[in-house]
Amino acid sequence: MNLVSIEQLAALVPDGAKLAIPKDDTGVAMAATLALLRRKVRRLHLVCVPVSGLQADLLIGAGCVATVETSAVTLGEYGAAPRFTAAVREGALRIVDATCPAIYAGLQAAQKGIPFMPLRGIIGSDLLAHRSDWTVIDNPFAEGDRIVAIKAIAPDLALFHAQAADRFGNVFLGRDRDGLLLAHASRSALVTVEHLVEGNLLDDPARAGSVLPALYVGAVAHAPRGCAPLGFGDDYGAEGAFLASYSTQARNDAGFRACLDGLLQTDAVAG
């Protein structure tokens, strides 16, 4: 098993990487994200699967991101993502706009090793005018039926948090399946986990069906509460007071820096 520290895992994300990250409620590797922020990674191309929130907003605010490929960046019930919103208004980001089904379709194409995935529901929208890498084609099985070919999305790396890993590098994902898609579509996956377990997860009939084999995993870091201040399944909830404060305080550069410094200091104490 390639078990590494959080800092070592973050060092495996090079500047300029196309990095796939999950939505807020499916295992965001926040401890690893804070390590990326400490390292001052640059020029990331974030692929949000299919949306992102605090994770993307922190990376954008800290100047780590050049491109965001997503259908939304939002703090949900806590409002707009302030640094994403400011960066869009200032023209500081390249935005690759998409829909949730299109993000999933592009990743599924990469997962299957095919160049594109056909998708309905986009024809008639203005997205096609802004996506030269999407092409309207004829359904070869039905005359006059037009569909959109979504180009495969093949990230360099996937970064996410999961329930557990064993000493062989197999990762237990539980009922969430997005981690499987991220890992299968990407060249490699970097995973933080709540627990390290004995034995081989693939030998456990109760869990093997939700295990990502070590073949797809580049490195694992043990990070209890590794999603905080976001929540993780039934293990712990999101820190609502922090998210509410961040949504207003981070609307300006000084407030954002104060929020980020507070997170980094808390993380350093916890570590």
Q: Same domain, yes or no, for 88 and 177?
A: yes
Indicate whether 54 and 187 sit together in one domain. Answer: yes
Structural tokens at position 6: 């959080």
- Verify that 142 and 212 share a domain, yes or no: no
- Same structural domain for residues 136 and 166? no
Reading the block at residue 251, the tokens are 């609307």
Q: Does 178 share its domain with 199? A: yes
pLDDT in the model for residue 111: 98
Residue matched to tokens 């529901």: 121
What is the mean predicted confidence (pLDDT) over 29-43?
Answer: 98
Whether 230 and 132 map to the same domain: the answer is no
Sheet holding 146-151, edge to edge: 116-119, 146-151, 134-138
Q: Nearest 5°: CA angle at 124, between 119 and 129?
A: 90
- The fraction of the chain above a pLDDT of 90, given in percent, is 96
pLDDT exceeds 90 at position 116? yes
pLDDT of residue 47 exceeding 90: yes
How many Cα neighbours within 13 Å face the side chain of 214?
14
Dmax over CA atoms of the chain, in Å, equals 63
- 198 pLDDT tier (thresholds 50, 70, 90): very high
Same domain, 185 and 249: yes
What's the pTM? 0.96
CATH number of 68's domain: 3.40.1080.10
pLDDT given at position 266: 80
Alpha carbons 247 and 141: distance in angstroms, whole number: 49
Question: Does 244 lie in the same domain as 179?
Answer: yes
- 267 has a pLDDT exceeding 80: no
- For the chain, what is the domain count? 2
> What's the domain range around 138?
116-151
What pLDDT, on a 0 to 100 scale, did the predictor assign at position 268?
A: 58
* Position 247 confidence tier, pLDDT thresholds 50, 70, 90: very high
Residue with tokens 């820190």, as numbered in its chain: 239
Are residue 84 and residue 167 in the same domain, yes or no? Answer: yes
Is pLDDT above 70 for 1?
no
Q: Mean pLDDT over residues 86-100, rounded?
A: 97
Q: What percent of the chain has pLDDT over 70?
A: 98
Phi, psi values for residue 97, rounded to 5°: -80, 145
Whether the Cβ atoms of residue 212 and residue 180 lie closer than 8 Å to each other: yes
User: Does a structural domain hold residue 208?
Assistant: yes
